[in-house]
Amino acid sequence: MAQIIDGKAISQIVKDEVKSEVLKLSQKGITVGLAVIIVGDDPASRVYVNNKKKACEALGLISREYALSKDTTNDELLELIKKLNCDDEIDGILVQLPLPSHLDEKLIINSISPNKDVDAFHPQNVGKIMIGDYTFAPCTPAGVMELLSKSSIDVSGKECVIVGRSNIVGKPMSMLMLHKNATVTVCHSKTADLKEVVRRADIVVAAVGKPNFITADMIKEGAVVIDVGINRLENGKLCGDVNFEEVSKKASFITPVPGGVGPMTIAMLMKNTLASAKAKHNL
């Protein structure tokens, strides 16, 4: 039976580390600040933004929320980002996605200063991750690496299969794994004989957005299984991309949904904002 990787407990360790560093900086007169912009009234986005605000308050970061109406124009949003790029109190700028369809997501993301882009979505930060010279990485893949590290799972020399090639998880995940000397395969909807490829893996990262997609017959005995998916079933329950009940009987380690990768995302956002503040002060 697999050992459960407890994302809640590990995210709390990361948050405690951030809180301690933020306190040390405040004793030198240095503050750490995050600005979150939400456009419109998407309920899921509102929950995420509230959670980010609570985390900032708990860890001693300055938190600023900009709640804009769903009719906000590209120009209005770009003007706000321009001001925040120049605001000394703000170290991280996060635009909550998805944006209303009339807004140009790519234009908006690219307008955030790379130094304050704590989601690490700006092309400049994507390029830095590619070459391994980065200050921070996207929060979810960075959270996966933290889960593995804090669970004493060494990825060096291991065969890692990532199922899903999104710009937010799959692609950056592959780079972070490569930087830690894993041998990486990225699978997607066009992969031939997906089952066989996944079965080779010492570490499987599932980020495909399909409930219970990864089944026990796809998993090698003793593999480490990280479930990034979060899907809501018809009965209202949350489940991941991995069939937890089946796979947990074969894996050595597994993350649950909820309570696995999810809590790490906000913890890593806090860590990225701290890293941005430290870089600004050459610390």
Residues that are catalytic: 52, 96, 119
Per-position DSSP letters for 105-131, written without gaps between them: HHHHHHHS-TTT-TT--SHHHHHHHHH
The rounded distance, in Å, linking the Cα atoms of 11 and 173 is: 18
In the chain, DSSP finds a helix count (H) and a strand count (E) of 10, 11
Could you list the beta-strand ranges (E) of the chain: 3-4, 33-39, 62-68, 92-95, 159-163, 183-187, 203-206, 224-227, 231-232, 238-239, 253-254
Strand partners, 95: 37
CA-closest candidate to residue 163, choices 213, 225, 212, 206: 206
Contacts by 23-28 with C-beta closer than 8 Å and gap 24+? 23/60, 25/277, 25/278, 25/281, 25/283, 26/60
Q: Are 209 and 164 in contact (CB under 8 A)?
A: yes
Question: Is the bond leading into 211 cis (omega within 30 degrees of zero)?
Answer: no
Specify the residue for token string 């995302």: 265
- E-strand ranges in 123-206 read 159-163, 183-187, 203-206
C-alpha distances (whole Å) from 166 to each of 29, 163, 207, 239, 265 are 40, 10, 8, 19, 16
* Bond into 258 cis (ω within 30): yes
d(CA 31, CA 25): 7
